[in-house]
Chains A and B, each alone.
Chain A
Amino acid sequence: MAISTRAEPKIGRSKSLLHRLFNQESITAYIFIFPSLVGFFAFIVLPMIRGIQISFTKWNLMRPPKFIGLENYKDAFTDPVFWNALKVTLEYVVLNIPLQTLIALFMAVMMDRVTKSEIVRGIFILPYLLSNVIVAMIWLWLLDPNLGFLNLLLQQFGIHKQAFFFSTTQGIPTIAAVNIWRHMGINALLFYAGIQGIPKTLYEAATIDGAGEWGMFRRITLPLLRPVTVFVLVTNVVGSFQVFDTISVTTGGGPIDATRVIVFYIVQNAFELTKFGYAAAMSVILFSILIVITLLQMRVLRGNSSDLSS
């Protein structure tokens, strides 16, 4: 059963078991995907195992890695900068995700119900086409504490200049805002695509039953959009925990440690301080956190089932 092709399900059923297991088509299939499998193991599976190994060593490129057991993990747990990095990262995620998702959902419903204009969709996706580096550069310029355009505007409304990126309290919110600016359009488009997949007959039936816009959104759109929502949420949450580009271009982790998020701290430890073992240990910790969060999200949102079929 497992080997017969969909394209030709009936031929070959009478052949011997051995023949079916190793039939030519099965082998051809593996030859086709072989390069991908090799790449997958060399670049994903092996590095993951090696990463765990490196995390148990002291390694600074000068000398071969030296096994030191759990030392790096102990260091991490007593390192205030590491804890702060986790805290700051979490702050970023909490500011980023709910706002970004709600705005995107709102934009998607607007794009569906108010205007189907391709120009509007085109403008919304614009920032996502620019790299994080360019986006960070533009906002670094617009939000400059002294020479920024936004501060000029604020002053005209009688509001004092703000430090934005370079304030210990505003740094993370500013970086979250820049990220929301870049991603709300693409997320809206994903939601919009999901909404287009909802059968129109459901809405027609609801209209006949006298349901209003809000009722239809809550009872039809939102539940049937769940697979897309799960996809958007899971990828965005995992992505947000790894925020790096914007910080690298703008604050460099400062002022003090206010924006030294976890991936930035890991990269600094590895490539500036050449503490590869310690950096690898922090990577492993972050990876474990991300797995737990992803599984939790899947569980809570019941990601793999659609309400349409249930």
Chain B
Amino acid sequence: MTATRRPYKRWHWLVYLLLVIASVFFLIPAYLVIITSLKEPASINLSTTWQLPERWYWQSFAEAWTAFAPKLRNSFTLTFFATIISALMGSMNGYVLSKWRFRGANIVFPIMLFGMFIPYQSILIPLFQFMRSIGLYGSIAGLILTHVVYGLPITTLIFRNYYAEIPDEMLDAGKIDGAGFFGLYSRVLFPLSLPGFVVVIIWQFTQIWNEFLFAVTLTRTDSQPITVALAQLAGGEAVKWNLPMAGAILAALPTLLVYILLGRFFIRGLLAGSVKG
């Protein structure tokens, strides 16, 4: 391939405009949240909102940690298991749907994709009823199951597109070596799947960690994820904002960390066309 298109020089000043917009819209709120979380409640004052705290006050984080540690633990359990399970199942589905022709394959895939466009709200009430009837209402296990199933369409789609790019000849080579249905998956495809897994894991992790509607309707107090606890805190009148802001930072850290560690692979995966309609 020839070189990429040259950047449009006459628009060069736009780079600066773009950066200014980016910082005004995104970085200033982030700055305000961080400094407010580090201020003493008594020193929080509208007219000095944008100023750095006179004294760094870490107490809000300690308080937020005491208040939210159990909820954060719930969120971790929920997100960890739901992400891993839906990623593994999506990978197996993707393998079957991209590399095997079997009777009904043409029906199975569109049905699964259809699940991607199902509006959550339309099954909320029957799902609540179903959870109650199988005794999983209010439990983290129930929420994990729900997120696994609702994650499957997107994880299956991503892996199917990803595996479609892997040449069939590689599987043929595996077959000659005597690998069977599962052997081809575990010995040939799975080791090549890391980039696919990175995209799927980041996607699922952020979706599930941040989800609110199922979390608020399908859990009880002791199984609440962090989003529900935070939402309740925000509702209180005349709150001192240092505590909610510290809580917000604690709740945001896991997704930010995952993204900082794996983000570059995520964008690369996106660019490689893993997420396409």
Q: What residues of chain A have their CB less than 8 Å away from a CB belonging to chain B?
A: 1-8, 21, 25-26, 28-30, 32-33, 35-37, 39-40, 42-44, 46-48, 50-51, 54, 107, 110, 113-116, 118, 120-134, 136-142, 147, 149, 152, 181, 185, 189-190, 192-194, 196-197, 200-201, 203-204, 213, 227-228, 230-231, 234-235, 238, 241-242, 244-245, 248-250, 252, 263, 266-267, 270-271, 276, 279-280, 283-284, 286-287, 290, 294, 303
Instruction: Tell me which of A2, A43, A181 has the highest count of chain B C-beta atoms within 10 A of its own C-beta.
Output: A43
Q: When chains A and B are docked, how far (Å) is the Cα of A136 from the Cα of B212?
A: 12
Residue among B30, B210, B235 making CB contact with A132, cutoff 8 Å: B210
Q: When chains A and B are docked, how far (Å) is the Cα of A118 from the Cα of B130?
A: 45
* SS of B interface (majority): helix
Q: When chains A and B are docked, how far (Å) is the Cα of A25 from the Cα of B15?
A: 55
Name B1-26 residues within 8 Å CB distance of A. 1-2, 4-5, 7-8, 11-12, 14-15, 18-19, 22-23, 25-26
CB–CB A110/B210 < 8 A = no
| Count, chain B residues at interface, CB 8 A | 101
- What is the number of contacts between chain A and chain B, taking CB atoms within 8 Å? 285
CB–CB A44/B149 < 8 A = yes
Residue among A5, A107, A114, A203 making CB contact with B99, cutoff 8 Å: A5
CB–CB A149/B50 < 8 A = yes
Judged by a CB distance under 8 angstroms, whether B52 is at the interface is: no
Q: Would you give the shortest CB distance from A220 to chain B, in whole angstroms?
A: 11
Residue among B129, B130, B277 making CB contact with A231, cutoff 8 Å: B277
Q: A50-B126, A131-B227, A270-B125 known; A227 and B171 CB under 8 Å?
A: no
Residue among A141, A189, A245, A270 making CB contact with B241, cutoff 8 Å: A141
Residue among A5, A32, A286 making CB contact with B101, cutoff 8 Å: A5
Known contacts A51-B126, A113-B8, A133-B234; can you find 11 more A-B pairs with CB under 8 A? Answer: A5-B99, A6-B99, A7-B168, A114-B8, A123-B26, A131-B227, A149-B46, A152-B47, A193-B273, A234-B277, A249-B235
Q: When chains A and B are docked, how far (Å) is the Cα of A284 from the Cα of B121?
A: 9
